[in-house]
Amino acid sequence: MTANLVHDLRTALGESAVVTDPADMAAYVTDWTGSFTGTALAVVRPASTAEVATAVRLCAAAGVGVVPQGGNTGLVGGGVPDSGGDQIVISLGRMRRVREVDPVADTLTVEAGTPLATVQEAAAAAGRLFPLSLGSEGSCTIGGTIATNAGGTAVLRYGMMRELVLGLEVVLPDGRVWDGLRPLRKDNTGYDLKQLFIGSEGTLGVVTAAVLRLLPATPRRATAFVALESVEAATALLPLLREHGGGQLTTWELLGRQAVDLVLAHLPGARDPFPERHAWYGLVELAGTSADVDERLEEALADASEQGLLVDAVLAGSPAQRESLWALREGVSEAQKSEGATLKHDVTLPITALSRFVAEVGPRLLTALPGLRLVTYGHIGDGNLHYNISAPVGDDAALKREAPALTRIVYDAVTALGGSISAEHGIGALKRDAAAAYKTGVEVDLLRAVKQAIDPDGVMNPRKVVPG
Ligand code: FAD
Ligand code: MLT
Ligand code: ZN
């Protein structure tokens, strides 16, 4: 049956669109973190929506699961097959055309395999802005950012991917195509179907194209890196930055000392902007069209300093300096990966609970595994912490052994303080069981009901997201 499927896929899509050589499939079956590796019957690389539909229809008929994949930068193991050996990866990498930029409607229509950075560049070339911004933007795709409802460093101002999508084209689990590729700002015709697919992590269909919202370009940017005494100071600064920012506050990011140390150790050319070491750091950016962004940021920092919320600050005086300050923030994921085993916790809490969370949970974790390194950073302006852990130096095995207990400590505290165990990375394979444990019974029932209604035969991304 599966040999027939590979033969049929080759006949329908062409030899070169169906990869079965294990060496050629290797990059598609292991995720970015290296923690998830599976096996696939084949990797299919369609070049059009019609080819995606054909591939899904053939897989559904053969009872074979489909794992959609974009840039494979996901951090929860959702975009790679598991070890069941009964799945096909559909990679959207050949579908990377910007179909249209419409400066009057302020929209951009794009195929799902297009890298996010290409979309940002196409918007900029038209004098507009596509504001989603992530460390992985050179590799992650529009389909992947839609499927995960990605967040990143500009959510504070522009929202998550969900808020930037106007229309979608989706291949459904039975191979039919839903053409919802409409550029409408208003469309109250019943359930908002596109929102079901956004954030569904490939479990309901394959996104093949999207209409995205564009925004006014922000050619002037003012950026500062600040030193802080505490997480409490970082959260107390938010209203002040908002007030001075006058609607131009775009980024407010937090970095703990350990996170900065890792970047300084692993990123060539990175340097500490301050002469002294500090416990916490922030990266703040205002962006707009008028020249007053610098002035506003300077006033905000002066005010913060007067109120005792800042220990030190450096303002970027040139594009090169801005880039080097951003590199300290964007380099953390890669630097932590170079440091050995990592346990990621992408959590979100009410902003007023963040400092209590950090103060209470750190000691509990260190008691459970002495020597572990807390690598805390993230999008504090959104209440989103990457509360990541690195293994004690030279002892990756200890972190792997204690991972379930450590994660339980983190998730129990997040839940007790009214937060969520996934802020922006999703559920994938990593958090599927946890989602079942930390969601209410009603929520789990609703998740299962939606999956059953749209994918009754379980074709799409089996054993991901929805509790078994
Ligand atoms: P993949 O990894 O290929 O897939 C992710 C999920 O989407 C999988 O479940 C997959 O099945 C599904 N999928 C992919 N394409 C499709 C499609 N066309 N149709 C249906 N389902 C599909 N994430 C954030 O939110 N914010 C960040 O700040 C952030 N920073 C990151 C920094 C680094 C260095 C790295 C490595 C990752 C970061 N991520 C971040 C995570 C990741 O980049 C995002 O989740 C991104 O949206 C994944 O896009 P992708 O194209 O790589 O998707
Ligand atoms: C980031 O914001 O840098 C990533 O989402 C965090 C991570 O890699 O854990
Ligand atoms: Zn993030």
**What's the pLDDT tens digit per position in 241-262?**
999 999 999 999 999 999 999 9
- Residue ranges, CATH 3.30.70.2190, the chain: 220-333
- Residue 4: helix, strand or coil by DSSP? helix
In ligand 2, the atom with minimum distance to the C-alpha of 379 is 2
The β-bridge partners of 18 are 44
Ligand 2 neighbours, Cβ below 6 Å, are 75, 135, 332-333, 344, 346, 378, 386, 388
- Residue ranges, CATH 3.30.43.10, the chain: 2-91
In ligand 2, the atom with minimum distance to the C-alpha of 152 is 2
Tell me the DSSP string of 171-221: E-TTS-EEEE----S---SSS-HHHHHTTSTTSS-EEEEEEEE-EE---EE
Cα of 33 to ligand 1 centre, how many Å?
12
The CA distance from 176 to 178, in Å, is 7
Pairing between β-strand 346-348 and β-strand 280-288 as defined by DSSP bridges: unpaired
Pick the CATH number of 220-333 from 3.40.50.720, 3.30.70.2190, 3.40.605.10, 3.40.50.2000: 3.30.70.2190
Distance from the Cα of residue 170 to its chain's centroid? 20
Cβ neighbourhood burial of 108 (10 Å; 0-12, 13-18, 19+): buried
Q: Tell me the percentage of the chain whose pLDDT exceeds 90.
A: 99
The overall average pLDDT reported for the chain is: 97
Cα of 82 to ligand 3 centre, how many Å?
24
Which residue, chain included where needed, has tokens 């400066």?
103
**What's the pLDDT tens digit per position in 320-339?**
999 999 999 999 999 999 99
**What's the pLDDT tens digit per position in 123-156?**
999 999 999 999 999 999 999 999 999 999 999 9
For residue 413, which of 373, 461, 359 has the smallest C-alpha distance?
Answer: 359
- Residue ranges, CATH 3.30.70.2740, the chain: 340-416
Question: What integer is the mean pLDDT of 13-32?
Answer: 98
Domain 2-91 sits in CATH 3.30.43.10: yes
Write down the pLDDT at residue 281. 98
For residue 100, which of 215, 218, 209, 186 has the smallest C-alpha distance?
Answer: 209
Which residue, chain included where needed, has tokens 């004098």?
127
- Residue ranges, CATH 3.30.465.10, the chain: 98-216
Write down the pLDDT at residue 1. 67
Q: What is the CATH number of domain 98-216?
A: 3.30.465.10
Q: What is the CATH number of domain 340-416?
A: 3.30.70.2740
Question: What integer is the mean pLDDT of 347-357?
Answer: 98
